[in-house]
A and B are shown apart, each in its own frame.
Chain A
């Protein structure tokens, strides 16, 4: 069939020439199929070949990702199974969507509504129920055309705003499977209008696909942060990024994806919130408080860039003992929304928090001024949401984001993260991070075990936040955080990472992505794990034995820690899933650990670092990368922290097992 302009190219890969489709189309469509079941894989390959497609099969998600990365334009479409041992199919889906912008079709024997919905929200362009019939495969080429067509519209529109609007409206729907479409469309239209002139000089139909590398994404994030999520328009982002060869359309489509990601996060958090509410009430206040807040924080953190900053702040705030235990419960209910996401990621946070709080009851967030209230949290969420494709769905509250985050950044820096418990702590804490992010309760909860809501949490939180920030922008610094695409990417992983206490088990390296606890793990991931771990605890109502962890957080579980954690998580999660997390993760972790350790013992060490990070954040709120840099710098003596964390983690491990969380690194954060 001859679609498109009828260029009539007879290349075996018609799509290679961009929009031009050869007469043979869809023959030659380059399909990558990923499935851990060899029987299914072989059948699919045979079926796809029968459709005259060019098939590459793959047993493991990571291999698939590296194949895709190596051959940027080597494939037209990806088919992936949902349940795979090394990486969750949805995580892979997000990676591909963000990095390569290829259409992805999910497959599973599971036809439950929630799973299918998950596919939709994660951006899958279709969902096939196994056993797959060849008829279903015969039409998959439509997704490729649709995506290209949408891309083209961007190009064509560059010249004319009105026309662009029309086209946008028409073609956007096909591009996204989420309900965010309408929003995106309108936003896009606005962007188009603002554009006026287009930067894109290419008038060719074929749009060379831009690969959003880690660096590129970091620049993107920096620009977005600088502008503020609400004001981030492709044109301005493009100007700020100042990358030669990058077009406004590239930025626009990347921004859309990012928004979709954030929206998904907020949606998740909403669901989570509901769940949490019930959950929390049933639990002991300490538990609930910590967990919920923690989760919320996580969500928030995951949601967006801000998280990193907020996390740092929260950490700082949470270093000290939080006395606001009572306060925590309150926010918890609010937080519940955040927490309720189904993503296990939250669990990680809890878990990690749990670990973190093992040791002394340092309430990181304790001191966090409870003014922050859920609203703030929400804001955080919102910011975070926009930031990335967090799976977590931040709830409604997240609407405010930027403003809050900004506030946070500005207000705080106090880094007094001390481990003292006392009220002073509370006052001290206010770190902007903490405040805006979450009511103190949450923060504590997040970082710490969430259960005890004590220092553990905060400590962990701080650490986490630090890490988070680092992770959030892995691109910037680290050593190779191969978190490509949005930092937020990690977030999704956070949530999606099965809360099985991965980190917790460091040794087992349940963590899907990273292969192991630290080493090539992104700190965030680890933190994330930990966090989720904690979260999980609370959410699942597991009676977390606070005594085990000596989480001083009991009362303090503030949201802030979680917020912090979350923030960092987005990136962390991603990293967790992708093995490419690198030393950064490690570094982060150690930092976190170190912080934790300090908190426990001294509470000073962390303060400083946290302070710095917080401060940095405050000042440079919009520039997460710099913050990360700061975090990374050895001002805090990360190494020590890390070791401390790791040690703690080990200790925490045993208890975590009960939780059955995903092994987020957070667990490792010794508290």
Chain B
């Protein structure tokens, strides 16, 4: 019962993440790649994403501190970051990236900074939610096995 309950809980969390627009179809693609041979694939990918993208974010931070702003560079950096974020299905983060790039094209420094701050918020929120999700999913264990390993 506990197990079933845990699974339901995990499912509910996932469901809400999709409903609230934090995640999109790409996340499902990743989940489909997960199997017995790659049981924690999605979590590994998300972990890798957060680790690698932190570098991009700090680059963006530095570039935003410059004066005058190098919009081309900002746009290039953000393009990379956006590509990365879209590959894990981070929908809201991706939307903020798009907005940021529009501000870059419009050479609107203030807009860039604002949307960057907003993006970072979404990025952090998603991280927390996913961490919770993965933790519960691991605890719930694979649905198929009768016993949980350990």
Contacts and interface: CB of A to CB of B under 8 A. Distances in A.
Interface of A: 37-40, 42-43, 46-47, 50, 83, 108-110, 130-131, 133-134
The range of chain B's interface size is: 20 to 34
B149 to A, nearest CB: 22
Nearest to A500: B72
A353 B85 CA distance: 41
Given A43-B45, A130-B87, A134-B32, 19 more contacts: A37-B80, A38-B52, A39-B45, A39-B49, A39-B53, A39-B84, A40-B84, A40-B87, A43-B30, A43-B87, A46-B33, A46-B38, A83-B76, A109-B79, A131-B26, A131-B83, A131-B87, A133-B29, A134-B29
B33 A47 contact: yes
Interface in B28-56: 29-30, 32-33, 38, 41, 44-45, 48-49, 52-53
Given A109-B79, A109-B86, A39 B29 contact: no
B83 A109 contact: yes
B92 interface: no
B83 A46 contact: no
Contacts of B7: none
Contacts of A109: 79, 82-83, 86
Contacts of A131: 26, 29, 83, 86-87, 89
20 contacts: A37-B52, A37-B80, A39-B49, A39-B53, A39-B84, A39-B88, A40-B87, A42-B45, A43-B88, A50-B33, A109-B79, A109-B86, A110-B79, A130-B87, A131-B29, A131-B83, A131-B86, A131-B87, A133-B29, A134-B32
B51 to A, nearest CB: 8
A40 B29 contact: no
Interface of B: 26, 29-30, 32-33, 38, 41, 44-45, 48-49, 52-53, 76, 79-80, 82-84, 86-89
A644 to B, nearest CB: 34
B40 to A, nearest CB: 12
B79 A39 contact: no
Contacts of A39: 45, 48-49, 52-53, 84, 87-88
A505 to B, nearest CB: 15
Contacts of B33: 43, 46-47, 50, 134
A130 B52 contact: no
Most A C-beta atoms less than 10 A away, residue of B49, B76, B80, B87:
B87
Contacts of A38: 48, 52
Nearest to B26: A131
Contacts of A42: 44-45, 48
A-B residue pairs, 7 tightest by C-beta: A109-B83, A39-B49, A131-B87, A131-B26, A131-B86, A40-B87, A46-B33
A145 B32 CA distance: 28
Contacts of B48: 38-39, 42
Most A C-beta atoms less than 10 A away, residue of B44, B48, B79:
B48
Contacts of B41: 46
A83 B78 CA distance: 12
A83 B44 CA distance: 24
Nearest to B82: A109
A586 to B, nearest CB: 30
Nearest to A46: B33
A40 B30 contact: no
A38 B41 CA distance: 14
A108 B82 CA distance: 11
A130 B86 CA distance: 8
A444 B3 CA distance: 79
Contacts of B49: 39
A133 B29 CA distance: 7
Contact of A83 (B29, B80, B86, B87): B80
A37 B86 CA distance: 12
Nearest to B51: A38
Nearest to A108: B83
Contacts of A110: 79
A83 B26 CA distance: 21
A294 to B, nearest CB: 24
B95 to A, nearest CB: 14
B22 to A, nearest CB: 16
Contacts of A108: 83
A43 B26 CA distance: 11
B118 to A, nearest CB: 20
A367 B77 CA distance: 46
Contacts of B83: 37, 40, 108-109, 130-131
Contacts of A133: 29
Contacts of A40: 83-84, 87
Contacts of A134: 29, 32-33
B79 A37 contact: no
B24 to A, nearest CB: 9
A621 to B, nearest CB: 42
B42 to A, nearest CB: 10
A80 to B, nearest CB: 14
Nearest to A35: B83
A130 B89 CA distance: 11
A99 B45 CA distance: 34
A568 to B, nearest CB: 29
A83 B79 CA distance: 9
A109 B81 CA distance: 10
A37 B38 contact: no
Contacts of B53: 39
Nearest to A47: B33
Contacts of B79: 83, 109-110
A47 B29 CA distance: 9
A108 B87 CA distance: 11
A40 B87 CA distance: 6
Contact of B84 (A37, A46, A47, A50): A37
A156 B87 CA distance: 44
Contacts of B76: 83
